[in-house]
Structure 1
Amino acid sequence: MAKVITVELTKRFIENEAPATGERQTFRDSKSQGLILRVGASGRKSWAYDYRDPAGNRQTYTLGTTDQLDPNEARKVMDRIRGTDPARNKREVKVEASKAESRTLRKFVEGRYWTDYLLHAKSGKDTKKRIIAAWAPLLDTDMAEIDVQDALQHRLDRLAEELTPQTLNRDRTALLAMLNKAVEWKLIKASPLNDASFKPLDTADDKRVRWLGQRDEQEDIFDGQGKKLGERARFMQALSHEDTPAYLRRLCILALNTGMRRGEMFKLRWENVSIQRAELIVAAATSKGNKTRHVALNATAVAVLQELAAERDTAAREAKAAGEPVKLAPFVFVNADTDRPFVTLKKSWAVMVERAQLNDFTFHDQRHDFASRLVQAGVNLYEVRDLLGHSSITLTERYAHLAPHQKRAAVALLDAA
């Protein structure tokens, strides 16, 4: 610890007898109790007030540099604040900063909220995963300082990535419940998201049905030979375009032929795929309804999986031949840039949809297209429900209007009665 020297602090002393030594020096004024002169290792000199706070703890409060204050001016400044606790605000800021670091969403949901609440709650593990996945950009934010506009913008971004309003509303509910628990446990004074603008989204649009070919009668788009091209033809041309990434083509073909959700495909593991039986399993942990679903595969879907399996086998053989460790990713679809599952297709999808000249067609709409084609082909709604993994037939009934021929066939039976 550096030695503290007591001496009368004068201009002459400061200029001639307190040079830079490469080490920090402290001089205590013999004339005014509490006044100290600090000389930094670089020679920077500043005044400070040394005192004890109401709790009896020693505190030091900076008054200014020697360029700003001469000794007499420094004493006057110190005398004006003597008897007060000028470092209190600084201490409180430090304490609050420490609290803020321990109050982040991440630390709370992985710490006390998990051990003292979610761990013992029904679906607590799923709720923890939901919060971490849904609110990733806000995880390192102090719960007391979450900005409503940031939360609203993040929700808009996710809505643009084809998540349904119902899903986003569940994410909102999970986050609000956690913040309310933080208030109950007196970690924060009030929930920053108890704001009228952060209201639930309207779920009326969840019933939208958008499929390829739906707008063919309203559009006139032609190829180079003057032949009219419908939405499906344009989409398939864009899908097979040389600039369309292979991963996007394969994901889209699988979506169009299985009705799988984007997240279900992102998390699909090879252990749940059987090319031989033409079947795959959507694990409960990756499905929207937390239920395992067996998905039958047609020849088109099988061909895509065979392509991926062949590439995986080739990579393994090449690694083995080169004497390198054989590392096979457990996931069917892997982002080559990260060697991890995909998390978004926003950019590549936008380019392809623009190339296909499609309006208001999202990645999730391929699921609607799958269901719509089945219903139009005469498949009954209960089978479509099972294929889609809907929890209720009510969700599947949105496609009922696409099968008028079934209704006509039903009433036609009366003609023969």
Structure 2
Amino acid sequence: MRLYQGRRGDSDSFKDLSAYRLMLPHLGKVPLDLLDTLVLERYVEVRHEHSKPSTIERDLTRVRAILRFAAKKGLVSAARVADNLASVSDLVGEYDDQRMRWLEQGQRDELINWFKFDAELHLILHILMLSGLRLGECLRLAPADFTGAGIQTWSIKGRGRKRRHRTVPLHPRIRQLLSHYPLRSSERMFCMSETTLRRYFTEACERLGINDFRIHDCRHTYAVHLRLAGADIDEIAKLLGHTNIETASRYANIVPARVSALTGRL
């Protein structure tokens, strides 16, 4: 990161250079090949608790530039950079006010069911689509996180690195899959790597003809279907773990099905 900062010319603004310096305490000691979803999510949660979505998007764009520069200089393999760039793109999708890619129910279920060949993948896709967890939150789940109340998860917020816990309702289809899923003795529920999951996900979307759909868009799909079912923006923000309701305001233009039905009776 210091090497990238050093190559920047005098034409770069002081504000932009300062932004790179502010990254150093958080990401400066992280090896580039370990800059995955879990690390990036934690970085956003710690540094940008009260930031606007546009500010977070700009900061993640800088991370993307650093990764590309590292690949160009041969500091990390191109394949690994591709995986980490996908992680950055997913997070940018969460804070990009213009991006609202989601799937209708039929196409959503078609994508989920494509993974029936593998019990672990099948359960992961159900959780991503029907609980709205971030990829990092999903992959770190432990058997104890599934309770009668729902799925227990957490995120780290603020400079104090405090954990903020939330409970997401457990969808009946997830509950059914769990009843047949072989629980592991390890702390984590899943052993699949993020790289392997992304490869399968990309292949599934290509085969099903689903264009421009990222793993993080599963989260948008969950939120949109909540909105269509009648959930208000505050409820959606709480379930998604957003401390800034502005991030969830993109779903405000989705008209709940019950409102559409009532309008038809006027």
Point out the structure with the larger helix share.
Answer: 2
Task: Give TM-score scaled by structure 1 length.
Answer: 0.41
Instruction: Let me know the Cα RMSD of the aligned residues.
Output: 4.2
Change in Cα spacing, 1:234 to 1:369, as seen in structure 2 (3 Å) is closer
Q: Which amino acid letter does the alignment assign opposite residue 251 of structure 2?
A: Y
Partner of 1:210: 101
In structure 1, the residue matched to 2:124 is: 251
State the match for 2:85 in structure 1.
159
Structure 2: gaps of 5 or more residues: 4-21, 40-68
Compared CA separation, residues 405 and 130, structure 1 to 2 (3 A): farther
Question: SS where residue 283 of structure 1 aligns?
Answer: strand
Query: Which has more radius of gyration?
Result: 1
Is contact 2:93–2:216 with CA below 8 Å preserved after alignment?
no
Query: What's the TM-score, normalizing by structure 2?
Result: 0.62
**For 2:100 and 2:168, how far apart are their aligned partners in 1?**
22
Correspondence list, 1:64-213, <5 A? 133-134=34-35, 148-150=72-74, 157-161=83-87, 162-165=89-92, 205=96, 207-213=98-104
- 1:193: which partner in 2? none
Q: What amino acid maps onto 2:225 in structure 1? A: R
Report how far residue 130 of structure 1 moved: 8.8
1:258 CA displacement: 0.5
Q: Is 1:284 matched up with 2:211?
A: no
Deviation at 1:155, TM superposition (A): 5.5
Report whether the alignment pairs 1:401 with 2:253. Answer: yes
Amino acid aligned to 1:389: G
Query: What secondary structure does 2:180 align onto?
Result: helix
The yes-or-no answer on 1:382 pairing with 2:253 is no
Instruction: Give the length in aligned residue pairs.
Output: 207
Task: Give the Cα–Cα distance (whole angstroms) in 1 for the partners of residues 109 and 83 of structure 2.
Answer: 27
Residue 245 and residue 355 in structure 1: after superposition, are their counterparts in 2 closer, same or farther (change >3 A)?
A: farther
Tell me, yes or no, if structure 1 residue 343 matches structure 2 residue 194: yes
Question: Does residue 358 in structure 1 map to residue 210 in structure 2?
Answer: yes
| Higher RCO structure (Cα 8 Å, ≥6 apart) | 2
Identical positions, percent: 24
Gaps of 5+ in 1: 1-102, 105-120, 137-144, 168-202, 214-231, 314-327, 336-341
Equivalent-residue separation in structure 1 for 2:226 and 2:183 (angstroms): 32
The structure-2 alpha-carbon separation of the partners of 1:278 and 1:133, relative to structure 1 and needing over 3 Å to count, comes to same
CA distance in 2, matches of 1:284, 1:147: 30
Rounded to whole Å, the distance in 1 between the matches of 2:115 and 2:250 is 36
